[in-house]
């Protein structure tokens, strides 16, 4: 059975060598030999880039399409096995890679440790379940505070704002009762949460 071909795009270092007119030449040297007038301007994400595409061989890779992209203060070399794609499409697809890389990191911040899904359907399902789980945790956190704070009824968002307002009101009341010394200790503890100001802050709270 024939193996399914996977499309790929990567950014190459400037010292990688490609075959030009029968000789191996570094990407940065090939870019330096280009005439900017012969390059095509593309608008991507609000920026303008001059691009030149060449289908050639790359050492230890094989036949590829190389896109030289020159922007304001930047030079990039994109490489892909899709020789039929336009330079703009290659660049736009590569830029989307950042969103893909950030997604697992954001998921891990929500408690995810391993992501085994590989198909589009399973990833889509995980993407739907993740914010749902986060919402349930938010609701649980609000519910856990209800016995201690006067929280009004309504949507989770309204109740969250009510909880935040209640905490803020209590903070103002403490400041009014204890005075400037408490405020200074509080601000110091925020700036240096592991310093000696923690003890000072706890001492002020103990007086309440």
Per-residue pLDDT tens digits for 45-85: 788 999 999 999 999 999 999 999 998 888 999 999 999 99
Find the length of the chain: 208
Q: How confident is the model at residue 18 (pLDDT cuts 50, 70, 90)?
A: very high
pTM of model > 0.85: no
Between 153 and 205, the higher pLDDT residue: 153
For residue 190, how many other CB atoms are within 10 A of its CB? Answer: 10
What rounded mean pLDDT belongs to the chain?
A: 76
Q: How confident is the model at residue 145 (pLDDT cuts 50, 70, 90)?
A: low
- 198 pLDDT higher than 50: no
pLDDT of residue 147: 61
Lowest-confidence region among 45-54, 93-102, 189-198: 189-198
Q: Which of 56, 62, 59, 53 is nearest to 34 (CA)?
A: 53
- 156 pLDDT higher than 70: no
Pairing of strands 9-11, 74-80: antiparallel
Q: How confident is the model at residue 143 (pLDDT cuts 50, 70, 90)?
A: low
pLDDT of residue 196: 46
pLDDT of residue 197: 43
The 10s digit of each residue's pLDDT in 109-125 is: 655 556 666 666 766 66
Mean pLDDT of 157-162: 66
Put residue 83 in one of left, alpha, beta given phi > 0 → left and psi -120 to 50 → alpha: alpha
- 208 pLDDT higher than 50: no
């Amino acid at each position: 059975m024939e193996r399914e071909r996977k499309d790929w795009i990567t950014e190459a270092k400037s010292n990688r060598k490609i075959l030009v007119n029968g000789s191996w030449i570094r990407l940065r040297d090939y870019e330096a030999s280009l005439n900017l007038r012969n390059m095509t301007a593309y608008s991507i994400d609000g920026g303008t880039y001059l691009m030149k595409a060449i289908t050639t061989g790359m050492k230890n890779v094989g036949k590829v399409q190389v896109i030289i992209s020159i922007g304001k203060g930047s030079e990039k070399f994109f490489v892909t096995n899709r020789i039929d794609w336009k330079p703009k499409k290659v660049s736009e697809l590569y830029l989307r890679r950042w969103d893909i890389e950030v997604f697992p990191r954001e998921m891990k911040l929500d408690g995810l440790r391993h992501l085994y899904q590989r198909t589009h359907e399973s990833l889509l399902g995980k993407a739907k379940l993740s914010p749902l789980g986060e919402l349930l945790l938010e609701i649980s956190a609000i519910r856990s505070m209800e016995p201690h704070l006067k929280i009004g009824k309504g949507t989770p968002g309204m109740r969250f704002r009510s909880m935040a307002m209640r905490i803020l009101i209590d903070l103002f009341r403490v400041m009014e009762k204890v005075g400037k010394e408490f405020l200074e200790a509080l601000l110091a503890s925020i700036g240096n949460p592991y310093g000696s100001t923690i003890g000072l802050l706890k001492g002020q709270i103990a007086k309440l």
